[in-house]
Structure 1
Amino acid sequence: MDDKFGIKAAADRNIRLGHVGDKVLFENEHIRMWEVRLEPGQTIDFHIHYHPYLVVSLGGGENEIETIFGKKITTQEPAGSFAFIDEMRPVHRLTNKSEATYLSRLIELKSVTWTVAP
């Protein structure tokens, strides 16, 4: 089985995938909006996204995305910055590497659902 997205790798390591954010602030048939808040040094659990999403930073700075495969990607997410992700990516987690609280809104577009099947 191809494990391009790391679902099997997570299961093999007994990692239970978490939510993409801390809490849902709004949801309807079109979108789901999450709050993501990370204090300095805090990490959100490994998770995977099944929908395209927009991240809007309300505050923070440097973050690190770590995939289940160990790849680390540094991001700069100061207040007002945003990123639109329109492709499925491997299981990953996010760590706040700055000295400031990271706060964002992650908005999933529910009209598209990605699957892990080959």
Structure 2
Amino acid sequence: MRGDIVISPSGEEIVLVDVGQLVLYDDPVVRVWEVSLEPGETHPWHLHHNPYVVLSIDGSEGRMDWLDGSEPRFISEHRGGSVYRPVSPVHRLTNIGTSFYRNRLVELKDLGENVGEPLDISPDDVSVRTVADAALDLEGPHVLAALDTEDVRLHPGGPCQLAGEWFVVELRYLAR
């Protein structure tokens, strides 16, 4: 969490930042952040206490560096793309591309901070699709996140009408 202090392998004290820059939505099940980086900008060292889903709005090339010195992970995100990630070690993200980067990061709090020990789930238990100007009848809980506004909500299931482009994140593990 923000302000936590960890020690690097070289003995340096590192003060962690939040996993995102702006909270867009928060309830007992999920917390949704925005992360945005200009080319060359870095989101400093942080630690995910919850499994999470990254929803890419403005894609770019990125580099994830790990505090433990592990080999960096290179990512290439595109608008409408998504990826599920379990709890991960302390890392930072740098936009190494030439375009602006922005995402919605959906923390699954009910699999992390709201249980004694973080639970990992199958990637099949969380699915993401993008829709535009759609009437949907959703089975079970879904996170709805607009691509072009900060509108984010948890939908319990049932009918909904969405104008514009949206991420629809199905939380299948909650419907069990």
TM-score, length-normalised on structure 2?
0.58
Q: Counterparts of 2:52 and 2:18 in 1: how far apart (Å)?
A: 14
Higher RCO (CA-CA < 8 Å; seq separation 6+): 1
Identity of aligned residues (%): 36
Q: Which residue of 2 aligns with 1:38?
A: 37
Please list every run of at least 4 consecutive aligned residues from structure 1 whose deviation after the TM superposition is greater than 6 angstroms: none
Structure 2 gaps of 5+ residues are 1-5, 119-176
Structure possessing the higher radius of gyration over alpha carbons: 2
Match of 1:94 in 2: 93
Separation of aligned partners in 1, 2:84 and 2:110: 15
Q: Kindly report the root-mean-square deviation, in angstroms, between the aligned alpha carbons of the 2 structures.
A: 2.0
Taking the aligned partners of 1:80 and 1:90, their CA distance within structure 2 comes to 26
Query: In the alignment, which residue of structure 1 is the partner of 2:65?
Result: 66
Higher relative strand content: 2
TM-score, normalized by length of structure 1? Answer: 0.84
Contact 2:7 2:13 in 1 (8 A): no
2:77 maps to amino acid: E
Aligned to 1:84: 84
Count how many residue pairs are aligned between Structure 1 and Structure 2.
109
The Cα of 1:90 is off from its aligned counterpart by 1.3
Displacement of 1:58 in angstroms is 0.2
Find the counterpart in structure 1 of residue 53 from structure 2. 54
- Unaligned 5+ residue runs, structure 1? 1-6
